[in-house]
Structure 1
C-alpha cells in the first residue's frame, strides 16, 4: 500500500503517535493538509525553541546555593516535552536520550547536576536532525556523559601503582552507542560462524580504546576550579585536555592503531571515525530508533531500508539523522494500515509518552511557568519513568527485552517497554493520570473547552477522545462499553460535564488500544 498523499484524520493521529510527543485536533488537521512528508519538512524547518539551560537561568538556579543539588531540572525537561512546538525534535530527543543514556544521578556530584543534565538534553536537541558523527563527538565531550560513565578525570596508566585507565566509556560506547555486541548484517540480523554469533570486540579492544579517553576534564576557561566553579558554565562547555593525564602512547582497537605521539584531540577524532564507519553502526542504531518511534519488532527489510539511508542519504552523506528519521517515518512498514493492524506490529507506549499524549492533546499549560511535574520515576506513585533518570546506562528498558511466560515470548518477539510494566506501575500510572486529568498536578492546566461543547453527547465525546489519543483504534466492544458507561452519568451542569470528561479520558487512557501504539 503506497503512502497516502492526503491522510485521513485517523491516519494523521496514528502518524503523530510515532512522530510527536502528542497532538491536538488542530495538529491532526495540519498533517491532513500538509501530508506526512510536508509535516516532517515543516517540523524540521522550525527553529530551536528556548532551551533547558535558559529555563534554569530564568528560574535563578545558577545561584551558588543550587550547585550541589538538582533543583529545577525536572521542570526544565518537562517544559520542552510538554509544550515545545518542535514536537518531532522533542520526540527524537527522548529517543536519543534512551539510546545514549546519561542519568542525572550519576553525573558529577556537587557540580551543578541540573545544569549538566539540561546541557546534555540541549546537545541532543541541537543534533537531533544533524549528523550522527557530530552527535557522537558532542556526547563524548559532554561533562554530563564524562561524569556519568566515569571518564572525566580519567588518567593514563600509572606504572608505580598499577592503575589503568577507566574502561567504562570505552565499553559502553561500543556496546550501547555504536556497534553492539555481535556482528550484524545490514538488516540487523546477527552474522554467524558455525552457527554462533561473531563478537564485535574483546577485552583488548576495550583496553586499547580506553586509552583514548584519558586526560579529559572540566573546562574552567583558564580559571581555577574554585573560581571557575562558582557558575555552572563549565558543565556546559565541552571537556578539555589535561596533558599530564593523557596517554600519548599507541592505542589499538577494532583493527585500528593510533600511533604513539598522536594528540588527544586527533586520537579522539580517529577513534570516533573508526566507530562511525563500522558496518554495524547503521543497522544497530537504526533498529533501536525504529523501536523508539514505531515498532518493537521491525522486519529485517525495514531495518535494511533505513540502514541504507544512514549509510548514504542520497547525496553521499553518512549518518544524516534528518534523512534517517524521515525515511523511518515514511517507510511503507510504518505507514501501511494493514501492516499496522498485524499482531506483531507496534509497541507498548512508554509511560512518558502516555502522559505527554494527554497533555498535548489538550494543550496543557503551566500558567506560573514552573511545570511542576517533578521526578516521575517512582512506579508506585507516578510513571515509573522520568527524563534522564534511568537507573543505569541500560535505560529503563532494554531493546532486546522479552517478557517471560507470555505469547510475546512464544512468538520470539521482543517488547522493551514491558520491562517496566508490572502490577505496581500499572496502578501508579492510573493514579498519576487521574491527578493530571483532574488538574491536580500543580498548576498543569489542560484545556477541555472543545470537550465541554460536546460533553452532553456521550458518543461525540468518546469519538473526539478516541481520535486524538488513540487514532480511532478502540475496538467496537471497548467503545460501546465506554459510551455506555458515560451515558449513565448525569449532565446538565458544568460540574457534571467535567466529571463526564474526566471519566471519558481515564477510560481511554486506561484502554489497551491506547496503551499499545499501533
Structure 2
C-alpha cells in the first residue's frame, strides 16, 4: 500500500518534470609518476585528502544582515555542487562575500599525479599487450586505466562530494565545458588529468593566463590539431575554435551580450581564421614521447606532459592580420605570434560578454538579463567587483564575484518563469550525494550512469560540449542549455539513481583496487521521522530554494505519513526518510535550480 502510494505520487512528479523540460525556466601541474598503475583513492581516504586547507570565513561584518536560509540555499546551489547543513550554517554566519574570499583561498584537492605516461613514452606498438602490469586487474582493464577519462571521472565525483574548495570544483566543471577537450579524441589518462588540473589551477587567476595555458596545452593541441601544424598548409581547426568557442564568438556583441546593431555582424571571416592558423604554426609536442615508427623530422611524437615546444624553423613568420584588427609584423617567433593572437582576443570587446554570460548560465541562470551581463562585463574590464579582484582586466575572482553577488543572483524571491537552470547531470549527481551524506569512490558515473544521463564527464561528443549555450526551449523565447541532453530516458535515470541510493543499498564496489562503491547515509535524519511534516519541511529547506508548492508539499507529507509509526520495529523511520528524500529529489522544484 505505502509503496503504491509513493509510486502514484512519483508519476505526476515525473510528468511535471517533463513539462518543465518542455517549457519551464530553466599553468597546470606537470609533475607525475611514471609508475605502471593508476591511482585509486577509497571514499574514506578521499574525504580526508580532498579538502585541502580551507581558511575559516570571517564572521559577518558589523551591520551586515545575515543571509536568509532560502538565499543561502540558492547561493550554495550556484557556487557549490549542493548545500549541506554545515555549509548553510557557515554561509549564514559569515555572509556571501566572506565565504567567497575564503573559497578563493582554499587549497586542493588536486587530481592525482600518478597516472602513467608510459602509453606515450615506451614506444610500444601495443601498450596493452606488451606492458608488464603491476596486477592482473590493470592488464585486463588497460584501456580504462591508462587511456580513458574514467579514472579521473572517479576523482571528479569524489572531489564534488568531499572537496572543501567547492567553488573551485564547480567553476572547474564550467570551464571544462567551455574550453572543451574530450576523451573521444584524446587517448591518455595522464594528459586528460593534466589538462583539467590546469583548468582548476586557473579558476581564480586571469582569463589571459587561462587562454595561454589552454593554447599551449599538448592535449588540446592534439584534440584540435594544433600540434605539428604545417606552415605551408596549416590545419585551421584550433584557430577557428579558439575564436568561435573559447573567446569572442561568431557575432559582434555589446557589453550586455546583445547583438551590435540588432543583427549578427561576423567577428571574423574565413580569411581571418586562415591568418590565425598561419600565425600559430611551428608547435610540436614536448620532448619525451616515443614512436614505434621512428622520427618524423621536426615533429615530436605524441606526448601530453608539459607545454608545446616551439620550432621557429617550422613557423610561418609572414605579416598576419590579428582578430579584431591590427597586424602582426613579419619576422615574429612562434611565441610572439601566439601571444599577439591571444592578446588581441583578450582585448576584443566581445570576450567579456561572451565568456561572462556563459559562466552565468553554468552557475546561476540560463537566461540572464542584459543588465546582469553588462555588470559582469564591467567587472571583467575593471578587474574588481564587490571589493574582490586585483584590478587587472580579466581577473577571474572579480568575474565570479560579479556573477554570484549580483542582485539578479541574490534575493529570496526568484519566482520569474525565466529564472534558473536545469541541474545538469554532474551537478544533480554531486548535489544528491552531498545531501544524502554519501560515501563514494566516484565509480559508475562514467560508463554506466554517464551514458544514461548523456554526460560522461571529460568525454563530450565534440568541442561544442554536451550541450550548447543557446539551446532553445520549445514554445518559448527562452534557452535552456542542459535541456539539450534531457529527455524521458534521462529523466527516468535521475529517479533510478535516487532509487538505487535510497532503496537498493547504493552502487556496488567495482573490481579496481580500493573500490568501495557508493552508499547513502540517512541516519542523521531518522530522529526527525516522528513528525512527517517536520521531516519533509527540513529536507525541503536544504534542497529546494523557495520551497515546494503547497499541494506538492502536502502530497509528499501524506505519502511519508503513510508509513505508520510502529512500537515494534524502527524500519518505519527509515522508510519515511527514504520516501521524503526520493519524492523531493524527484520534484521539478529540485531538478530546476532556482
Q: TM-score, normalised by structure 1?
A: 0.88
SS at match of 1:335: coil
> Structure 1 residues 32-41 or 452-461, which shifts more?
452-461
1:303 lines up with 2:373 in the alignment: yes
Instruction: Give the number of the structure with larger relative contact order, counting CA–CA contacts within 8 Å between residues 6 or more apart.
Output: 2
2:492 to 412, 417, 427: 427
Shift in Å, 1:378: 6.0
Q: Where do residues 16-35 of structure 1 align in structure 2 (5 Å cutoff)?
A: 16-35=76-95
Question: Is the contact made by 2:199 and 2:210 (CA closer than 8 Å) also made in structure 1?
Answer: yes
SS at match of 1:382: helix
- Inter-partner Cα distance in structure 1 for 2:408 and 2:586: 27
Question: Is the contact made by 2:284 and 2:308 (CA closer than 8 Å) also made in structure 1?
Answer: yes
What is the alpha-carbon root mean square deviation over aligned residues? 2.7
Aligned to 2:110: 50
Shift in Å, 1:85: 1.1
Aligned to 2:272: 205
Aligned to 1:337: 412
Question: Is the contact made by 2:71 and 2:411 (CA closer than 8 Å) also made in structure 1?
Answer: no
1:188 lines up with 2:257 in the alignment: yes
Q: Where do residues 185-264 of structure 1 align in structure 2 (5 Å cutoff)?
A: 185-192=254-261, 196-221=263-288, 224-225=290-291, 234-254=303-323, 255-264=325-334
1:13 to 50, 64, 73: 73
Question: Is the contact made by 1:402 and 1:413 (CA closer than 8 Å) also made in structure 2?
Answer: yes
- Inter-partner Cα distance in structure 2 for 1:70 and 1:280: 33
For each residue in 1:279-329, what CA deviation from the matched residue of structure 2 results, as whole angstroms up to 9, or x when unmatched?
100011101111111111111111001100001124541000011101211
Question: Is the contact made by 1:382 and 1:431 (CA closer than 8 Å) also made in structure 2?
Answer: no
SS at match of 1:177: coil
1:81 lines up with 2:160 in the alignment: yes
Question: Is the contact made by 1:241 and 1:264 (CA closer than 8 Å) also made in structure 2?
Answer: yes
Change (3 A) 1:9 1:307: same
- Inter-partner Cα distance in structure 2 for 1:509 and 1:131: 37
Aligned to 1:437: 502
> Structure 1 residues 273-282 or 309-318, which shifts more?
309-318
Aligned to 1:383: 453
Change (3 A) 1:453 1:93: same
Question: Is the contact made by 1:377 and 1:389 (CA closer than 8 Å) also made in structure 2?
Answer: no
Aligned to 1:160: none
Aligned to 2:540: 466
1:417 lines up with 2:482 in the alignment: yes
- Inter-partner Cα distance in structure 2 for 1:50 and 1:416: 28
2:200 to 106, 119, 125: 125
- Inter-partner Cα distance in structure 1 for 2:282 and 2:270: 21
Consecutive aligned runs of 4 or more in structure 1 exceeding 3 Å deviation: 52-57, 63-71, 223-228, 242-245, 376-379, 490-496
Question: Is the contact made by 2:157 and 2:430 (CA closer than 8 Å) also made in structure 1?
Answer: no
Question: Is the contact made by 1:74 and 1:373 (CA closer than 8 Å) also made in structure 2?
Answer: no
Shift in Å, 1:7: 0.9
Aligned to 1:284: 354
SS at match of 1:333: coil
For each residue in 1:92-115, what CA deviation from the matched residue of structure 2 results, as whole angstroms up to 9, or x when unmatched?
0011111111112221x4xx2x21
Number of corresponding residues? 489
SS at match of 2:321: strand
> Structure 1 residues 442-451 or 31-40, which shifts more?
442-451
Unaligned runs of 5+ in 2: 1-62, 118-132, 296-300, 385-389, 509-516
